[in-house]
């Protein structure tokens, strides 16, 4: 609780408010990219901060490179749906349904 996640791309903070292809989960800190493009290649660094503790930390940079051979390896795209048949929510409350596609 109280943590905020930011991603830095090639030493520039990603502005994700106007980016429909990229999303940062504030629950896990994970960065999701939909449809990787050649200009996405570079170094990504996660930064986490706590306003309450007044601290900020950065992880090591992680390089993103495109594969030229088209081989997906162990992370072939797959879609899994694990929703119950019925989801209940009280009137006036919020409900969240998530759908994820994984791949590399």
Domain boundaries defined on the chain: 3-102
Query: Which superfamily does CATH assign the domain made up of 3-102 to?
Result: Immunoglobulins (2.60.40.10)
**Which residue in this structure is represented by tokens 């290649």?**
41
Span 60-94, pLDDT tens digits: 888 888 877 766 555 555 555 565 677 778 888 87
**Which residue in this structure is represented by tokens 């994700």?**
16
Rounded to whole angstroms, the Cα distance separating 5 from 57 reads 10
Span 22-50, pLDDT tens digits: 888 877 888 888 878 888 899 999 888 88
DSSP label at 26? T
Beta bridge partners of 54: none
């Amino acid at each position: 609780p109280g943590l905020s996640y930011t991603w830095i791309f090639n030493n520039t903070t990603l502005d994700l408010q106007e980016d429909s292809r990229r999303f940062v989960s504030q629950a896990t800190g994970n960065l999701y990219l939909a449809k990787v493009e050649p200009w996405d290649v570079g170094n990504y660094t996660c930064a986490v901060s706590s306003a309450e503790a007044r601290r900020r930390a950065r992880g090591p940079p992680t390089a993103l490179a495109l594969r030229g051979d088209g081989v997906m390896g162990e992370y072939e795209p797959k879609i899994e749906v694990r929703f119950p048949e019925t989801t209940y929510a009280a009137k006036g409350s919020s409900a969240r349904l998530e759908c994820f596609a994984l791949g590399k």
